[in-house]
Amino acid sequence: MAAATTFINNLLNAAFRGATYTGGTITLKLFTGSLPSTGGTEVTGGGYAAQTLTFSAPSAKKVQTSSSAVFSNLPTSQVIVAYGVYSAGVLIDDKALDSSFQADVNTNSLTISYSFELGA
């Protein structure tokens, strides 16, 4: 994905060429229709809000969330199929859910753990 490539290139420029790179807040957003990189629409309504992610120290070229993102009180009118991960508002990765999710009166929260691996 081009966004991840841009993000990785910025990291490589900082590591190997002395460029300055300051990452921003990392957030996870939910999408309907398709991946955000292919035109998906961000979820709206209910108690939905993008979640800020925190990460454990990297190991073996991989970082993962130190705690899962929990989305509560999701709107029942939207089928969630994917999520996007953003750094300072710029898409750096997106993934489809293993199966689509639609909130109902019994289940209206979704929990997502995320990891990012260089070279994957």
Average pLDDT, integer, range 84-88: 91
pLDDT reading at 105 higher than 80: no
What b/e string do you get for 60-90 counting C-beta neighbours within 10 Å, with b at 16 or more? eeebbbeeebebeebbeebebbbbbbbbeee
The domains of the chain are located at 24-117
User: CA quadruple 118, 3, 72, 103: dihedral positive or negative?
Assistant: negative
Q: What is the pLDDT of residues 27-61, one digit of tens each?
A: 999 999 999 999 999 999 999 999 999 999 999 98
For the entire predicted model, the pTM comes to 0.87
Closest CA to 44 of 86, 76, 68: 76
Who has greater pLDDT, 11 or 60? 60
Alpha helices in 35-110 (DSSP H): none
